[in-house]
Amino acid sequence: IEQALALRETLFEEPSYRLIFGEADGLPGLVVDRFGDVLVVQTGSGAMEAHLDTIVSALDAVLSPTHIIAKNEAAAREIEGMERYTKALKGDLVDEVSLIENGAHFVAPLAEGQKTGWFYDHRSARQAMAPLARGARVLDVFSYCGGWGVQAALAGAESVTCVDASETATDYVHRNAELNGVADKVGSIQGDAFAAMKQLIADGEKYDLVVLDPPAFVKRKKDFKNGLAGYHAINELALRLIKPGGYLISASCSMHMPADRLLEVIHSSARHIDRSVQVIGYQGQGPDHPVHPAIVETSYLKSWFCRINFSL
């Protein structure tokens, strides 16, 4: 834990980051996210669950946080016969957490939120997005609490529309936009992403930048075929919404979806609707999600940055 903390304190000025990233930090089955004085812990294996008291004592000794919360709601826990629960291990159970990412301030739901409440892994990609968002009309699909969208507005976007199925998530989008002084630029659509994008196409909407950050469509190897079809469908919809010369950021957090296959999806989807693609950048997970060179599964996140034109 001290080794992991030293790395993060070298990399980040603010105490907002993934403190422990499982195998990559020498602690298989353990994830800890830091939100200032609040630590959110996930134990993904029976071995780590068995030593949870020791882990909490060690975290307390190293960091002395005011709160340590176990957020163990992943369905995968059932594989090892572990119950799903959320509870306070130190301090009281809190409903939400606060953080700073790339200079932007956010609040995120803990009890009703996804994973540990926030997704720090796209930090670097969101920072790289800034020049593309400046002066742009932006669509942020699968927006969750506005990590991409609010940062796009702060980067100087003309307007941002965030799409998410969760009413809780879209409520937090507006709270975070207000928190950062960009409430007048940020709107939301609460509903299914595929349906929302089809309606936007039908309405003739066009955007300078579309961000796709979907959940894992390929959670297991056997899901690959269906998941691949999902990536094709969502990327084609996004491409139809982009103005000529506009930009697409297309991401996947599916460990079983290789980066080169995602790029093939973008390219083939573009060709299907007579668009051409220029790849202008690539981002993986942020440095608080380090990669173990011998464990390919620790490298899971990918984002392609593309410029979209009509084919000549």
Local confidence band at 210 (pLDDT 50, 70, 90 cut-offs): very high
Contact 125, 153 (CB under 8 A): no
Taking residues 240-265, what's their average pLDDT? 94
- The domain limits of the chain are 2-94, 101-108+114-310
* 145, 162, 253, 306: the active-site residue: 253
Local confidence band at 301 (pLDDT 50, 70, 90 cut-offs): very high
CA distance 42 to 23: 13
Taking residues 242-263, what's their average pLDDT? 94
Give the model's pLDDT for residue 312.
60
Would you state the structure tokens that stand for residue 131, as one six-digit string?
A: 């020049």
Q: What burial letters (b/e) apply to 87-124, b meaning 16+ CB within 10 Å?
A: eebbeeebebbbbbbbebbbbbbbeebbbbbbbbbbbb
Give the model's pLDDT for residue 225.
79
Residues 27-36 have pLDDT tens digits of 999 999 999 9
Is residue 311 over pLDDT 80? no
What percentage of the chain reaches a pLDDT higher than 90? Answer: 86
Residues 143-163 have pLDDT tens digits of 999 999 999 999 999 999 999
Local confidence band at 310 (pLDDT 50, 70, 90 cut-offs): confident
Give the model's pLDDT for residue 288.
98
CA dihedral 154, 160, 165, 171 (to 10 degrees): 50
Contact 227, 275 (CB under 8 A): no
Is the pTM of the predicted complex or chain greater than 0.85? yes
Give the model's pLDDT for residue 128.
98
Is residue 115 over pLDDT 70? yes
Taking residues 123-150, what's their average pLDDT? 98
Give the model's pLDDT for residue 80.
86
Would you state the structure tokens that stand for residue 220, as one six-digit string?
A: 């297991």
Superfamily of domain 101-108+114-310: Vaccinia Virus protein VP39 (3.40.50.150)
- Mean pLDDT lowest among 80-84, 144-148, 186-190: 80-84
What percentage of the chain reaches a pLDDT higher than 70? Answer: 99
Say which residue the tokens 């796009």 belong to: 152
Q: E strands, 4-158, where?
A: 16-21, 30-35, 38-43, 67-72, 85-90, 96-101, 104-109, 137-141
Report the topology of domain 2-94.
Transcription Regulator spoIIAA (3.30.750)
**306 an active-site residue?**
no
Tally of CB atoms within 10 A around 50: 11
Taking residues 213-236, what's their average pLDDT? 84
The CA-atom distances, in angstroms, between 97 and each of 28, 40, 60, 122 are: 25, 9, 18, 18
Is residue 181 over pLDDT 70? yes
Instruction: Please provide the average confidence, as pLDDT, over all residues in the chain.
Output: 95
Higher pLDDT, 255 or 149: 149
CA distance 159 to 205: 13
